[in-house]
Amino acid sequence: METGTHLEPGEGWGEGGGEDWARLQALLELIRRENQTELSPERRDQIRERVLERIEQNEVRRRKVRSIVAATSTVLLAGLVLALVIRVRAG
């Protein structure tokens, strides 16, 4: 039975469906093992340093955005309070 892109074992793989399925699974496992490369300690350190630098850059950017939002909110709130004070005194 075909369900979208998923085939059940033994169905849709030809005459010897179970054998074909087992060969496919063995091939996929071989590919997964071959793609697992071991990194040297130096390379791991380089990657770790780049990740930490990026995290720090994002933190700096986040702090800048927060300070801009806080300053903008303060200015808008002060403008609102000033407008209310002016209306109360004029009224």
pLDDT in tens, 25-64: 888 888 887 777 778 899 889 999 999 999 999 999 999 9
Q: Which domain holds residue 12?
A: 1-36
SS3 at position 7: strand
Can you read off the two tokens belonging to residue 60?
């700096």
SS3 at position 63: helix
- Structure confidence at residue 64 (pLDDT): 97
Q: Are 12 and 2 in contact (CB under 8 A)?
A: yes
Entry pTM: 0.49
Q: Is the same domain home to 91 and 48? A: yes
Q: Is the same domain home to 23 and 61? A: no
pLDDT in tens, 15-28: 555 777 888 888 88
Q: Is the same domain home to 31 and 52? A: no
Question: Where are the alpha helices (H) located in the chain, listed in sequence order?
Answer: 17-34, 41-90
Question: Residues with Cβ < 8 Å from 39, sequence gap 6 or more?
Answer: 47
Can you read off the two tokens belonging to residue 53?
């630098």
